[in-house]
Structure 1
Amino acid sequence: MPIVNRIAAYAEDMTAWRRHLHTIPEIMFDCHQTAGFVAERLREFGVDEVHEGIATSGIVAVINGKGESDRTLGLRADMDALPMEEITGLDYASKTPGAMHACGHDGHTTMLLGAARYLAETRNFAGRVALIFQPAEENGGGGEVMVQEGIMDRFGITEVYGIHCAPGRPEGHFFTTPGPVMAAVDTFDINITGVGGHGAMPHETRDPVIAAASITQALQSIVSRNHYALDELVVSVTQIHTGTADNIIPDTAYVGGTVRTFDPAVQAMVQRQMAQIVAGQAASFGVEAELDYVTGYPATVNAPENAGFAARVAAGVVGEGAVQGDMTREMGAEDFSYMLEKRPGAYLFLGQGEGPGLHNPKFDFNDAVAPTGASFFARMVETAQPVKGA
């Protein structure tokens, strides 16, 4: 059961779709042009239902198979881009200033479109399949909004699967694991207020810069001294903003960053320890400090049975030697997690070979792997929902 020949024949069309999508990146929920292109293709393919405007610009399309089944697979692709300038120099580079497909969502959308075309043409499965095209994965939690708007119950979805491209991993290889596969992501903002003054007279001030530096260092003790070393946890300070001139001690300073966890108990510990550190450090420097800790996407957790099933289907497409079913889990985050909280399923990575990494202004999706991803989606449906007697 290798790459589907019929889907391989779509390769040139899929490349054209993907490169067109690459030229029109859209941010967060404002994916109307992308969604319009997707809806137009789906109607050309002859899918049975196209439901638009979910989570502002999301789409769920339904294809009916040839028989009855108590399973309806949901297959998801994200559509949104990142707010960054592209520097690839490609003929099909972004035409939208300040926006770029630097995370492969144009490729994810293309792979699901390829599967949609094949499934609508062959219908060699029982029951129904629901194709989910989602906005606002990068920021905004579009996956959560689609779930809140009832797509799981509305379309009778019993399980759900997604793919993300993986630069730096072998081209055409699949990677997944049972249980947690990607981390929960939280953010924190610390606003420090002191008393500014002349840089030559620090004794007359309450310096927020020193407090910010000390808080930043102390936060590192959460991982090194408050947490079991063999459990995954990341606490990263990614921003410090303060000051306007070399001879002015400012009144305020800002410290911000991200926290990545898998265990809700660890997540709660981090929040508790961070609050104590901020309060204690502020008191020691005579400044005021306010912590705003924001809980974000939960961990992406694969149901073990579904992850194993997905790995077996992937092996049928690319061979057992090109599938790793026990990958080391990632500290990145995904709002596909909200869908997996509502329904069992699995999230997989598809290697696209060497090249710039995700969120890099030189990144470009490898079109050669699009038929592989589309074949995986199609075989998932045909394997999970076989036509009786076929």
Structure 2
Amino acid sequence: MSELDRDALKREMIFWRRDLHAHPEFGFEEKRTAAFVAAKLREFGLDDVTEGVGGTGVVGTLTRGSGNRAIALRADMDALRISEQSDASYRSGNPGIMHACGHDGHTTMLLGAAKLLAGEGGFDGTVRFVFQPAEEWGRGALAMLDDGLMQRFPFDEIFGLHNMPGLPIGHFETRAGPIMSAEDIFEIVLKGLGGHAARPHAGNETLVAACALVTNLQTIVSRRLSPADISVVSVHRCRLQCRGRGQLQQG
């Protein structure tokens, strides 16, 4: 690709990214985004474009030459339930929803790869372009697998990435083995007996216990896992709930 063509593709990708950013959609609701992606893939001349995989997922297929190997390139499309505070001309137009995790960028990068490969070729085999819904829920990949992704669009290897603010432009980071964590969500409820602030010994204060618990949860990583393993335990919210009424007992 010439420098002139490269600059033209860059400008086009900026336009796509800003369009997607201005129209964010939550997981399994990415109807406009999926339609945008499918239309672009057909415009690029892919051999097949299938919509509705795993709900709102899209898979494009491009084959060149006679090679029998296939790879897949994957990007996620969904946004978050966050209100955007920005004056940018391409800020979110959907109240309460925002591309705050960069999936608009991921989608754009994969579209750019599809256009580049469709135009230049330069490979012998098949490339699947997998646009996944509902990554933020942790359910979109499973939905595509349950819908027969591997059987309907077989491939030998799959590659994905996630943006990382702070890396120099054009650089990637990787490692042998897992590099990104799976997610589990937990909720712990502590129940106690209220009391007066001047006489804490007469009650059963859950706030102090909760503070100790938040600290001690970190020992799961430091004392219960091998130093060769990678893990993180994060407490996102701690809430103290008062029933709003007191109870007097005779005695």
* TM-score using structure 2 length: 0.85
Amino acid at match of 1:191: V
What does residue 83 of structure 1 align with?
Answer: 81
Amino acid at match of 2:23: I
Shift of 1:144: 2.3
What does residue 45 of structure 2 align with?
Answer: 46
1:61 aligns to 2:48 (yes or no): no
After superposition, the Cα gap between the structure-2 partners of 1:183 and 1:133, relative to the gap in structure 1 and judged at 3 Å, is same
Q: Which has the higher contact order (CA 8 A, sep 6+)?
A: 1
Q: Answer whether contact 1:198 1:248 (CA < 8 A) is retained.
A: no
What does residue 218 of structure 1 align with?
Answer: 216
Paired residue total: 247
> Identity of aligned pairs, percent?
46
What does residue 14 of structure 1 align with?
Answer: 13
* 1:325-336 alignment, distance < 5 Å: none
More deviation in 49-58 or 8-17? 8-17
Tell me the alpha carbon deviations over residues 318-376 of structure 1, each in whole angstroms, 9 at most, x when there is no partner: xxxxxxxxxxxxxxxxxxxxxxxxxxxxxxxxxxxxxxxxxxxxxxxxxxxxxxxxxxx
What does residue 111 of structure 1 align with?
Answer: 109
Mapped partners of 1:234, 1:101: distance in 2: 24
Mapped partners of 1:175, 1:213: distance in 2: 35
Match of 1:125 among 113, 123, 126: 123
- The structure whose residues are more often strand, as a share, is 1
Q: Answer whether contact 1:27 1:136 (CA < 8 A) is retained.
A: yes
CA root-mean-square deviation: 2.8
What does residue 149 of structure 1 align with?
Answer: 147
What does residue 192 of structure 1 align with?
Answer: 190
Gaps of 5+ in 1: 251-390
* 1:211-360 alignment, distance < 5 Å: 211-229=209-227, 231-244=229-242
Secondary structure in 2 matching 1:115:
helix
Mapped partners of 2:3, 2:146: distance in 1: 35
After superposition, the Cα gap between the structure-2 partners of 1:236 and 1:68, relative to the gap in structure 1 and judged at 3 Å, is same
Amino acid at match of 2:51: E
Q: Answer whether contact 2:68 2:126 (CA < 8 A) is retained.
A: no
After superposition, the Cα gap between the structure-2 partners of 1:225 and 1:172, relative to the gap in structure 1 and judged at 3 Å, is closer
* TM-score using structure 1 length: 0.57
Shift of 1:199: 5.0
Shift of 1:168: 0.5
- The structure whose residues are more often helix, as a share, is 1
Mapped partners of 1:231, 1:58: distance in 2: 32
